[in-house]
Structure 1
């Protein structure tokens, strides 16, 4: 289960990991309570009312067969073309289809036919429920390491999301490379996943239950930064992080001193190194964050406020779907704090968790799973 050796190519076939994961999620798991580790709890961050309403309209069977956790919902989704990696029973796809609207589109891709059968069964039901004249959701059977082979076109998606799925792949680099390939220029890969405090041992990586429960395939967080850069993404922006606990003595003994967090990162397909630090003014208007937009753990933009940002964020805001939501001006412009460095950027999710814990209860931000939860998957 080497992390960086490509298992993809023309005519992609199941690896032993894919076979095991499909067996786990297609046959062994019939509902959330079948997970061997504790089920995830409610995300630490409150769910906005408009998202809660969207989730209420999802068919109960789709929700019951959903093995994800938390929520992975970036901002500014109206009329966007979105791909959900490892879409499972389709809960997130049906929720997102309401947020993108009838002019947008959501595609879900999953390798497990049993899960896709549930998702496809309720397409007509949801379109009628949402009042859409034609479906804006579709589901594709395929592998997240081979998106183009599954028929997804390059440079065709505005946003890719993934909720605790990348860790189930034996080839994370190929997942990132394929995601980069099918994103449009300015596109975003916004995803939550499980990360480890160091590279895992072969014993852990070859443990079927630990892999199925999203621990055995956890990526060392430093490897995410390296792999993202190698395939072309801008440096990952850490949004949230929270601790994962495993309340299972047998699994704890195997895991030893390794620690795990769930974390949300946003990666963008934008030019690198071409934008200087500058000042930005949030114009407001993004649905759900009209007054205050938390871009990542470092930057929160309040409407009409002037904020100094580093070159990475300046490039993202200039070249992504957020460009129209900000006024960009050179550093030292009116009302700014020229010469004041932005707050320190944290890339290590474990460090972010420690910082939040020092701030006291209520400060932890919810990633894929919340504090005091165990592992979680699709």
Structure 2
């Protein structure tokens, strides 16, 4: 099949995308059954009680209460360097993360939220003008689109058009996670990032669990085995996922616990980058301290913290990410393109082990800095 024929086949497939049974059930669950956060039956779709930086608390404080009352997220998706960026929120719901981040990208940046549930989109659209007035913007920098996260281009989103994609406890609700990652990869710019929080299981789930509508709606029935994320990311072209945070998900309702058996669940935040396959040799990097809010120390993921002026050994994949992403100007590489002779930390981390460490320390989450930074002018 020629490239032109492949493109036509992709477009035809996209036009033919229709609701699956899962999509119908999820729409019903979040459109009719769950009206506010307190209606949820597990902690899966509720953000962990981690300390929230002051600038994010300020931004959240300007979001209308009706929006925050209908928030169903499992993390806080605030990566670094946001000012001026074009960001896409997969499964934006009533728009809490969009309205919060619209303040951090600034009036020159833009947020697009996509969701398949019209009931939630109606709420989000009702409050666009309210928030723009609250933020002092002359024109809206937030747009909401009805569509499916498995068919972004069909919804009218252009390929290679976003600097960052975020998602908060939504990918698990899709029956085709690999397609979600493939579509995200397609609409990201070169060097762009998928930064998302979601629910993961410690093994592939049984059909009984997958077919339980309540467990699926509660973000557990569709949870991906965390090792499958690594495989899917590689298949669609992303860099290996970098684990940022992880925390244990609790299930209190006995009838749900009986169905789940020995399966365990965690909420984890990962960052994946669309960068070229290049030199994978480890090297040394020096953080220059130019990112607003983390001038002294920048926690990139759960294993890599960069202190300004300090020489740090990184694996080849991370060196490739830092070289080709929006962080390129914030680091000095030594020696350029060469090997430093120092063994870097391994890239793959078991999120269940990280979450267990956090539990033992009495923390809500083991963190690699998902909410520890402020936005900076990094997107051009």
TM-score, normalised relative to structure 2: 0.89
**Of residues 170, 177, 181 in structure 1, which corresponds to 2:175?**
170
**Of residues 136, 142, 163 in structure 2, which corresponds to 1:137?**
142
Work out whether 1:365 is the aligned partner of 2:366.
yes
1:97-116 equivalent positions in 2, closer than 5 A: 97-116=102-121
- Number of residues of Structure 1 aligned to a counterpart in Structure 2: 357
2:98 alignment partner in structure 1: 93
**Structure 1's 363 and 304: CA in aligned 2 closer, same or farther, altered over 3 A?**
farther
Q: 2:15 aligns to what SS in structure 1?
A: coil
1:147-162 equivalent positions in 2, closer than 5 A: 147-162=152-167
1:134-283 equivalent positions in 2, closer than 5 A: 134-283=139-288
Task: Please state how far the C-alpha of 1:324 moved relative to its aligned partner.
Answer: 1.2
Task: Please state how far the C-alpha of 1:269 moved relative to its aligned partner.
Answer: 0.2
**Structure 1's 41 and 117: CA in aligned 2 closer, same or farther, altered over 3 A?**
closer
**Of residues 352, 355, 364 in structure 1, which corresponds to 2:354?**
352
Q: Distance in 1 between matches of 2:340 and 2:331?
A: 18
Where does the alignment leave 5 or more consecutive residues of structure 1 unmatched?
A: 1-5, 368-378
Encode CA deviations 1:217-252: one digit per residue, 9 max, x unaligned: 000011110001000001111111111111110000
2:373 alignment partner in structure 1: none
Encode CA deviations 1:319-345: one digit per residue, 9 max, x unaligned: 000111111221899xxx953312343
**Structure 1's 38 and 187: CA in aligned 2 closer, same or farther, altered over 3 A?**
closer
Q: Distance in 1 between matches of 2:300 and 2:192?
A: 15
**Of residues 15, 28, 31 in structure 2, which corresponds to 1:23?**
28
Q: 1:365 aligns to what SS in structure 2?
A: coil
Task: Please state how far the C-alpha of 1:282 moved relative to its aligned partner.
Answer: 1.0
Q: Distance in 1 between matches of 2:227 and 2:204?
A: 9
1:80 alignment partner in structure 2: 85
**Structure 1's 34 and 17: CA in aligned 2 closer, same or farther, altered over 3 A?**
same
Task: Please state how far the C-alpha of 1:61 moved relative to its aligned partner.
Answer: 1.1
Q: Distance in 1 between matches of 2:250 and 2:326?
A: 36
Q: Distance in 2 between matches of 1:137 and 1:245?
A: 34
Q: Is the 8 A contact 1:44 1:366 kept in 2?
A: no
2:343 alignment partner in structure 1: 341
**Structure 1's 56 and 251: CA in aligned 2 closer, same or farther, altered over 3 A?**
same
Task: Please state how far the C-alpha of 1:304 moved relative to its aligned partner.
Answer: 1.5
**Structure 1's 41 and 174: CA in aligned 2 closer, same or farther, altered over 3 A?**
closer
**Structure 1's 348 and 76: CA in aligned 2 closer, same or farther, altered over 3 A?**
same
Q: Is the 8 A contact 2:246 2:365 kept in 1?
A: yes
Task: Please state how far the C-alpha of 1:62 moved relative to its aligned partner.
Answer: 1.1
TM-score, normalised relative to structure 1: 0.90
1:373 alignment partner in structure 2: none
**Of residues 307, 313, 316 in structure 2, which corresponds to 1:308?**
313
Q: Is the 8 A contact 2:283 2:341 kept in 1?
A: no
Q: Is the 8 A contact 1:163 1:192 kept in 2?
A: yes
Encode CA deviations 1:32-87: one digit per residue, 9 max, x unaligned: 11112258666354211111100001111111122224311111101000000000
2:3 alignment partner in structure 1: none
